[in-house]
Amino acid sequence: MSFQAYIDNIKSKTGKTPADFKKLAEEKNFIVDGKLNPKVKSTEITNWLKEDFELGHGHAMAIYATFKGKTE
């Protein structure tokens, strides 16, 4: 599955775009000043995405990758 297919599936399932998830991550202080908070581990972020949005591991990692700057 391509990266874009992951993103499309996430939007279909949750109704949220990577930008929407980024805003939510900022509210949780996972992202500060537009960058990942170095005090937060990736597992904490992916667990949040899995628990709150019922994403699988691969889909949670795709959103995490967008937080790191991946766009394609």
Q: Which two tokens stand for residue 63?
A: 């959103």
Domain boundaries, the chain: 3-67
Distance of alpha carbon 35 from alpha carbon 57, whole angstroms: 22
Model pLDDT, residue 1 = 74
Tell me the pLDDT of the chain (72 aa) as tens digits. 788 999 999 999 999 999 999 999 999 999 999 999 999 999 999 999 999 999 999 999 999 999 998 876
- 3-state DSSP assignment of residue 33: coil
Model pLDDT, residue 48 = 98
Q: Is the pTM for the entire model greater than 0.85?
A: yes
Model pLDDT, residue 46 = 98
Helical segments of 1-72, H only: 3-14, 18-27, 42-53, 57-67
